Amino acid sequence: MRFGYALGLIVTLLSACASSTTDSDDIREMAFAFPTRLDVCAGMRVSNQPRDRYSQFAQITDRVALARAPVETGCLSSGFGKRRSGFHKGIDLHHRTAVDIYAAGNGVVMEVTKHRDYGRTILISHGDDVFTRYAHIEWIPPRIQPGYQVSLGEPIATTGHTGNARARHLHYEILFGDYNNPAKSFGLTPIDVLAAPPAN
Ligand SMILES: [Zn+2]
């Protein structure tokens, strides 16, 4: 496990004032935790690559901003949208060894599950009907349970290749809609995090 002690300390201090949405002060304080650029993985053909300049945070609603690449490090191995085998509801962030996955924004853990295709997953609610899903996880610390309040940049898991994944990567989704539908998180609408406008 590669949890940074310095980051852990800051997260502990910040968690005292955790809120369910993420404001610009939160972003300024935690921006260092996220990659400052997102390259396409060397030797990989990636469809739906982002065309615009990369910024660390995307503004999803007026009150919810989220990290575009909530990992310690990694490259883009698949973009959002139509691809040869159907529709990709998120982006894939690959790194050959296990790295920390961070909460993309302040929020509350909704689901910690095991799924045939997604493998071990976490779903976080960020308010304003916005959710993030993290899939193919290897390891989840015991405190990460439904109802747990996470802070932006808090380590919540490590990358793996559980479920239907050929190589180790984080499959990361941003979802929007009413969770109280018959299909729960699978009834929400996926959003392209790389196409969303930069955070205010
Ligand atoms: Zn994926």
CATH for 55? 2.70.70.10
Is residue 174 one of the residues assigned to a domain? yes
Compute the distance from residue 91 Cα to the ligand 1 centre, in Å: 5
| Mean pLDDT within 114-124 | 97
Is residue 104 one of the residues assigned to a domain? yes
Compute the distance from residue 77 Cα to the ligand 1 centre, in Å: 9
Is residue 197 one of the residues assigned to a domain? no
CA 135 – CA 119 distance, rounded (Å): 6
Question: pTM to 2 decimals?
Answer: 0.86
Q: Is the pLDDT of residue 8 over 50?
A: no
Question: Residue 115: phi, psi to the nearest 5?
Answer: -130, 145
Q: Is the pLDDT of residue 20 over 70?
A: no
Compute the distance from residue 115 Cα to the ligand 1 centre, in Å: 14
Q: Is the pLDDT of residue 69 over 70?
A: yes
In this predicted model, what pLDDT tens digit does every residue of 37-49 receive, in sequence order?
Answer: 999 998 888 877 7
Domain of 35, in residue numbers: 5-191
Residue with tokens 């790295």, as numbered in its chain = 99
CA 160 – CA 169 distance, rounded (Å): 6
Q: Worst-scoring range by mean pLDDT, 77-86, 87-96, 134-143?
A: 77-86
Is residue 196 one of the residues assigned to a domain? no
Helices (H), the chain: 5-15, 24-30
Is residue 200 one of the residues assigned to a domain? no
**Among 185, 171, 157, CA closest to 89:** 171
Q: Is the pLDDT of residue 123 over 90?
A: yes
Higher model confidence: residue 88 or residue 11? Answer: 88
CA 193 – CA 173 distance, rounded (Å): 8
Higher model confidence: residue 21 or residue 7? Answer: 21
- Indicate the pLDDT class of residue 22, thresholds 50, 70 and 90: confident
Q: Worst-scoring range by mean pLDDT, 20-24, 38-42, 128-132?
A: 20-24
Compute the distance from residue 78 Cα to the ligand 1 centre, in Å: 7
Is residue 199 one of the residues assigned to a domain? no
**Among 172, 191, 197, CA closest to 91:** 172
Q: How many helices (H) and strands (E) does the chain have?
A: 2, 14
Compute the distance from residue 180 Cα to the ligand 1 centre, in Å: 24
Compute the distance from residue 194 Cα to the ligand 1 centre, in Å: 14
The sign one gets for the Cα dihedral 55, 60, 64, 69 is negative
Contact assessment for residue 167 and residue 125, using Cβ atoms and an 8 Å cutoff: no
Protein residues placing their CB within 5 Å of the ion ligand 1: 92, 171
Contact assessment for residue 199 and residue 59, using Cβ atoms and an 8 Å cutoff: yes
**Number of domains into which the chain is organized:** 1
Is residue 10 one of the residues assigned to a domain? yes
Compute the distance from residue 102 Cα to the ligand 1 centre, in Å: 17
Q: Please report, as a single letter, which amino acid is at residue 7.
A: L
**Among 90, 89, 83, CA closest to 69:** 90
Is residue 85 one of the residues assigned to a domain? yes
